Amino acid sequence: MKIERRSGARPAPPAFGKTPAILALLLQIAAFLTVLLLAAGLSVIFQASFNILVAAILQGAIAAVLSCWCRQAWWWWIIQFLFPILLIVGLALQLPPILFLAAFLTFLVLYWSTFRTQVPYYPSRLPVWQAVEAVLPEREGLRFIDIGCGFGGLVLHLAQRQLSSHFSGIEIAPLPWAIARLRACMTGSATQFIRGDYRSLDLADYDVVFAYLSPVAMPGLWEKAHAEMRPGSLLLSYEFPIVDVPADEIVSPQEGGPALHVWRL
C-alpha cells in the first residue's frame, strides 16, 4: 500500500452546474426535434422518408454529440445514444408494460435521488476497506461515518475489527439502506445505518468521515466538512479528490487503481 503525504490545504470555492439528468432530457428533446426537421426536409425536397430505426440511431447520435459538446460525463454519451434505439427495439418486441414498471421501480429504490444529488452508486471493495482501516487513528471511542454507505460493507468490516469504536453509515436510497440494516441485524453488529441525506448531518459528531461520492459532490462536501468538523478529525474520499485542496495523505489501495485521499482538519 503506497502512501504520499502533502500539506497546504485550502478551501475550494463551491461549484454550481446544471443537473445532468435534466440537461440530458433537454438534449434528447433537441435531438428529436432536429430529426423531425431533417425528416420533413427530406420529405419535401426528395420525397423520401426515414426508416424509424435509422431515425432512432440518428437521434441518439445527435444527442450523444450534444452531450459531448456540453461536457457531460462520458457515460451520458452512451446513454444518450442508446436511449432512442432501445426504446424502438422495446416497442418492436411488444414487451409487456409490467417489465418497464418493474425496471423503473428497481432503479428508483436503488438510485433514488441520483438525478438531484448527482451521486450514483459506487461500491467499494475489500482493498479500500483495508486502506481505510490502516489510516484510522488508534484510539478507543472513535466515531466513524460512511456517507453514501450503500450496502454497508465498509462499516460492517470496520466494526468487526474495532469493537471499542462506533461505526455508522448514512444512505439516501431505500434499497441499499434496507439491505445494510438487514446485514447488521443478521450479523448482530452494533453498527448504525441511517436513511437520509448526509447534508442534514452535523459532521462535528464524527472523528472520521468517509465518502465515495462523485466529482460533482466534492466541493460541497469540503465546504461542509471544513465548516463543521472538529480540529484533528479526518475526511477521507476514495477516488475523487477535491479541486485546489491537496490531500495530506494519498493512499493507493491497489497498484494502478484509484487513490484514497486523506485530509486532516
Q: Which three cell numbers stand for residue 82?
A: 442508446
Helix residue spans in the chain (DSSP H)? 20-46, 52-69, 74-93, 97-111, 114-117, 126-135, 153-161, 174-187, 218-228
Q: Report pLDDT for 224.
A: 95
Q: Report pLDDT for 15.
A: 39
Q: How many helices (H) and strands (E) does the chain have?
A: 9, 8
- Per-residue tens of pLDDT for the chain, all 265 residues: 544 444 433 333 333 335 666 788 889 999 999 999 998 888 888 777 778 888 999 999 999 999 889 877 677 788 889 988 888 887 788 777 677 666 666 655 555 555 444 555 566 789 999 999 999 998 889 999 999 888 899 999 999 988 889 999 999 888 888 899 999 999 999 899 999 889 899 999 999 999 998 887 889 999 999 999 999 999 999 989 998 899 999 999 988 888 999 999 9
Q: Report pLDDT for 8.
A: 39
- What is the phi/psi pair of residue 52, to 5°? -65, -35
Q: Report pLDDT for 113.
A: 55
Spatial strand order of the sheet with 249-252 comes to: 2-5, 249-252, 260-264, 234-238, 208-211, 143-147, 166-171, 192-195
Domain extents for the chain?
A: 20-117, 120-264
Q: Model's pTM, two decimal places?
A: 0.65
Beta strand pairing call for 143-147 and 208-211: parallel
Please give the CATH superfamily to which domain 120-264 belongs.
Vaccinia Virus protein VP39 (3.40.50.150)
**Of 244, 184, 215, 195, nearest to 119 (Cα)?**
215
